[in-house]
Structure 1
Amino acid sequence: MSAHTDDSSDEPEWSLIGPGLLVAATGVGAGDLAAGLVAGNRYGLNFIWAVLVGIVIKFALNEGVGRYHLATDETILEGIHSLGRWASGFFGGYSLLWGFVYGAAVSSSASLAANALFPAIPFWIYLVAHPILGAVLVLANRYETFENVITVFIVLMVVTVIGSAIAVLPQLGAIIGTGVPALPEGSIVYALGLIGGTGGTITMASYGYWLAEKDWDSPNYIPVMRRDASSAYLITGLFVIALIVMSAALLYGTGASVSGEDGLVALADNLGNQLHPVLRYAFLIGFWSASFTSLLGTWHGVSYLFADFVGEFSSNPVEADQLRDTRAYTFYVLWLTFPPLLLHFLGEPVFIIIIYGVLGAVFMPFLAITLLLLLNSDRVAAAHRNGMVFNTLLTASALLFIVLLANELSTLL
């Protein structure tokens, strides 16, 4: 499709409730909360700077996806396919393996939080119920209804997680000095991982499809899209910083060592024991909301990507706002829902986890380099190509993810 060049109409109005909310809801998952937990536990408030840098880098990637869609009327998969069938083939294979493993991981996160809230219900029921409920909500509702559902969850997360962080602020007095940005000895790789891990991965590429569902469909929406994407990463940053604050206030300097999603339950227990029992339940509700909205956003958004891949790879492309009605979209929602249950009940094959780790580490530099190529090409009208700022940010993100890829490969292989 040819690039849009008509910018004559007035800039559309922007609403806080937009596709950016879905980006935030999907990008802020248990992994982001756990990363904030570990950062605060180990280093106090020191690595808030790394979260802020990560937010800027992820914003640049997300803005690039959105700008490419609005400036060219092409989806990001069309752009990837234009680089060669190998590129879209890589994406298709990665999305299948990623969905198989991630579907199990995100269901487990939501189930862990729900089980901590209501332990009388067997854990396996949560494991089965969450992905099926997610599939029903995604397949049974149009975009507008889905956006409203996500908005409710975001409000719930703000009230519970941000509210819990505000409650611990009086506990920060003795450690406020740890907030001075620094790079403690031996923490370079950790800092890079925190920068690169904040705010989602493959799910960012779903942004253009949500723009299409919102009928944001021309270059006139680029300024609106930038405000929308900015709001997404502002929310993301607030949530991760809130976890650093809570973890630093309650755990830093205590000798306690917590990590992963089990550590989030332990943090909830600390909130209840040291401050007020209500805070335990409030935080667990926020933890569950973050996990379940990541599940919902993935089921909804990444299924567009897979359906688009099928259309492009089979030379039978479908318009972005019609992908939801394809068999490929439904297939991928079900792929995320049912096959991952095997990993819960049969165990995780080591070789699949290794391949998943390698391909996952490859995807982020792949996306950054793809955006650099596409947004500096003649596929995009000159007025909407990268300037110096976005070229610098995308180059920095590509280099960052290449370093993280090398580190991941050295660990896995």
Structure 2
Amino acid sequence: MTNTKRFGLLSIIGPGILVAATGVGAGDLSAGAFTGSLYGMAVLWAVLLGAVLKYAMNEGLARFQLATGKTILEGCFDKFGPLFGWLFLLYLGIWTFLTAGALMSANGVVSHAILPIFETPVQDKIFWGGVHSLVAVGLILIGGYRLFEKVMSVCIAIMFFTVVATAILSKPDASEFLAGFWPTIPDWQGGGLEWTVALLGGVGGTLTIVCYGYWIREEGRTTTADLSTCRYDLVSGYIMTAIFGMAMVIVGSQTELPPGSSASTVVLLADRMQEIMGEGGTFGRWLFLVGAWGAVASSLLGVWQSVPYLFSDVFESLRAHYQERKTKPISTASWPYRSYLIAMAILPMATLVFDFKQVLKWTAICGALVIPFLAFVILVLGSQQQVIGREHRNPIWSTILLSLGLILFVYALALAISKQL
């Protein structure tokens, strides 16, 4: 991993852009649209609050790493021992298989809607899902972090401007839009609370939040002097995430959507947009589909590039523990990183040959499981003076937001389990 500090706009906001692009996938698209379809724009405040809570988590993660010189996973290993390493690798393997399969499936379904090649949607899903996976591997292995960062910047620009433009073209009611920023929960006694909390917890990604620490290392940020830059780029990234999430709620509020798989909901929404926009409907449909493709393609590329970091980090910690030596630096050229990348790009392709709807519920549970744990870890490690230093402990605002997030994310996890099981 490189440690040379760069200058320029992309180097400053680059990791924040990666957080935004990787954290928004087909699940976030459909969840925002479906919640908007059910309850209109009254839940816009939940998108904003979710982005603020995820910002607090990522800020705490960056502050811990810059103050200690260790990633949050290394901090967990020091705190909880090798048992944490083994349990995390087990969790990571399950999460990777489910999430990688879901991302390939989503890319296949959306690509089929844009450019069908074979006779059946299933064949297109298999083809396009596999193509996106293999192209991502090639970009990462050949171009490294720099090419990855540039491609992701293009993808998020596509997804951001096209989806926001679609929301504007749908002509939302201005008074309803403004009212959506006042915290209310429609249908409190029914499913309103469940969907609002799920929307709040899903904003900004799950396990990929941890990967921000590796991206700032790639940019050469290694000391607490870089913390202000991290805060700036995280603010930029989560503003984009919040705007994108609100745009999806607005788009969804314009129509009724039946429940379904994430990617199929996105395609159905594009078809509904064509009906709503009348004469400009065809343009609106294609505009939205291209934006949706930018979201799912960038999410896949971001996961492919970042998740092998997690495996390499914990793997090296375990190896150093049992061999009683120092941990090797994490590198995209190392065999643990590349082996995991290739495995996650190929093995989950097996899920493309069957209906993935039954597996999606386990994907949702796995994603929801990690966020409360991460909030708890940042609260604990970030408050210990002997670990992080007195001047870098969690400030009051961070403690309040992390505590609120922990409560809400635990509740979101309970709802996800009860809903799916």
TM-score > 0.5, shorter chain as reference: yes
TM-aligned CA deviation for residue 174 of structure 1: 8.2
For residues 336 and 51 of structure 2, the distance between their equivalents in structure 1, rounded to whole angstroms, comes to 32
2:23·2:299 contact (CA, 8 Å) conserved in 1?
yes
For residues 58 and 245 of structure 1, the distance between their equivalents in structure 2, rounded to whole angstroms, comes to 21
2:139·2:147 contact (CA, 8 Å) conserved in 1?
no
Deviation sequence 1:181-238 (CA, Å, 0-9, x none): 4212222222111111111000000001000000011100001100111111111111
Does residue 245 of structure 2 align to residue 240 of structure 1?
A: yes
1:308·1:317 contact (CA, 8 Å) conserved in 2?
no
Structure 1 unaligned residues grouped into runs of 5+: 1-11
Question: Which residue of 404, 408, 416 corresponds with 1:396?
Answer: 404
2:110·2:267 contact (CA, 8 Å) conserved in 1?
yes
Other-structure match for 1:30 = 26
Deviation sequence 1:5-64 (CA, Å, 0-9, x none): xxxxxxx88655421111111001111111110121111100001111101111111111
Question: Which residue of 137, 140, 143 corresponds with 1:138?
Answer: 140
Does residue 85 of structure 2 align to residue 88 of structure 1?
A: yes
**Structure 1 residues 104, 26: CA separation in 2 closer, same or farther (over 3 Å shift)?**
same
**Structure 1 residues 225, 319: CA separation in 2 closer, same or farther (over 3 Å shift)?**
farther
2:316·2:328 contact (CA, 8 Å) conserved in 1?
no
Range with bigger deviation, 389-398 or 286-295 = 389-398
Does residue 220 of structure 2 align to residue 215 of structure 1?
A: yes
Does residue 270 of structure 2 align to residue 268 of structure 1?
A: yes
TM-aligned CA deviation for residue 372 of structure 1: 1.1
One-letter identity of the residue aligned with 1:362 = L
Does residue 141 of structure 2 align to residue 113 of structure 1?
A: no
TM-aligned CA deviation for residue 86 of structure 1: 2.1
TM-aligned CA deviation for residue 292 of structure 1: 0.7
For residues 178 and 218 of structure 2, the distance between their equivalents in structure 1, rounded to whole angstroms, comes to 46
1:354·1:412 contact (CA, 8 Å) conserved in 2?
yes
TM-aligned CA deviation for residue 105 of structure 1: 0.2
For residues 29 and 162 of structure 2, the distance between their equivalents in structure 1, rounded to whole angstroms, comes to 13
| Aligned residue pair count | 395
For residues 211 and 177 of structure 1, the distance between their equivalents in structure 2, rounded to whole angstroms, comes to 36
Deviation sequence 1:65-101 (CA, Å, 0-9, x none): 1111111111122111012222222211111111111
Other-structure match for 1:369 = 376
For residues 89 and 177 of structure 1, the distance between their equivalents in structure 2, rounded to whole angstroms, comes to 48
Other-structure match for 1:8 = none
One-letter identity of the residue aligned with 1:257 = P
**Structure 1 residues 56, 319: CA separation in 2 closer, same or farther (over 3 Å shift)?**
farther
One-letter identity of the residue aligned with 1:125 = F
For residues 416 and 160 of structure 2, the distance between their equivalents in structure 1, rounded to whole angstroms, comes to 33
Question: Which residue of 172, 181, 184 corresponds with 1:182?
Answer: 184
For residues 317 and 149 of structure 1, the distance between their equivalents in structure 2, rounded to whole angstroms, comes to 35
> Counterpart of 1:325 in 2: which secondary structure?
coil
Does residue 92 of structure 2 align to residue 61 of structure 1?
A: no
1:43·1:178 contact (CA, 8 Å) conserved in 2?
no
2:368·2:412 contact (CA, 8 Å) conserved in 1?
yes
> Counterpart of 2:387 in 1: which secondary structure?
coil
Other-structure match for 2:291 = 286
Range with bigger deviation, 270-279 or 58-67 = 270-279
**Structure 1 residues 27, 317: CA separation in 2 closer, same or farther (over 3 Å shift)?**
farther
Does residue 340 of structure 2 align to residue 339 of structure 1?
A: no
One-letter identity of the residue aligned with 1:238 = I
TM-aligned CA deviation for residue 257 of structure 1: 3.2
TM-aligned CA deviation for residue 176 of structure 1: 4.8
TM-aligned CA deviation for residue 400 of structure 1: 1.5
Question: Which residue of 157, 160, 163 corresponds with 1:155?
Answer: 157
2:55·2:235 contact (CA, 8 Å) conserved in 1?
yes
Question: Which residue of 48, 63, 69 corresponds with 1:52?
Answer: 48
For residues 334 and 355 of structure 2, the distance between their equivalents in structure 1, rounded to whole angstroms, comes to 32
For residues 405 and 82 of structure 1, the distance between their equivalents in structure 2, rounded to whole angstroms, comes to 26
For residues 99 and 190 of structure 1, the distance between their equivalents in structure 2, rounded to whole angstroms, comes to 25
Does residue 100 of structure 2 align to residue 103 of structure 1?
A: yes
**Structure 1 residues 85, 356: CA separation in 2 closer, same or farther (over 3 Å shift)?**
farther
Percent of aligned positions that are identical = 33
> Counterpart of 1:238 in 2: which secondary structure?
helix
For residues 353 and 36 of structure 1, the distance between their equivalents in structure 2, rounded to whole angstroms, comes to 17
Does residue 206 of structure 2 align to residue 205 of structure 1?
A: no
For residues 162 and 403 of structure 1, the distance between their equivalents in structure 2, rounded to whole angstroms, comes to 30
**Structure 1 residues 243, 359: CA separation in 2 closer, same or farther (over 3 Å shift)?**
closer
Question: Which residue of 387, 403, 408 corresponds with 1:379?
Answer: 387
Deviation sequence 1:275-314 (CA, Å, 0-9, x none): 2111211111110110010001101111111111100111
Q: TM-score by structure 1 length?
A: 0.89
> Counterpart of 1:339 in 2: which secondary structure?
helix
One-letter identity of the residue aligned with 2:112 = N
For residues 30 and 326 of structure 2, the distance between their equivalents in structure 1, rounded to whole angstroms, comes to 39
2:21·2:299 contact (CA, 8 Å) conserved in 1?
yes
TM-aligned CA deviation for residue 270 of structure 1: 2.4
> Counterpart of 2:383 in 1: which secondary structure?
coil
For residues 281 and 331 of structure 1, the distance between their equivalents in structure 2, rounded to whole angstroms, comes to 37
**Structure 1 residues 145, 57: CA separation in 2 closer, same or farther (over 3 Å shift)?**
same
**Structure 1 residues 176, 373: CA separation in 2 closer, same or farther (over 3 Å shift)?**
closer
For residues 235 and 204 of structure 2, the distance between their equivalents in structure 1, rounded to whole angstroms, comes to 12
Range with bigger deviation, 388-397 or 154-163 = 154-163
One-letter identity of the residue aligned with 2:207 = I
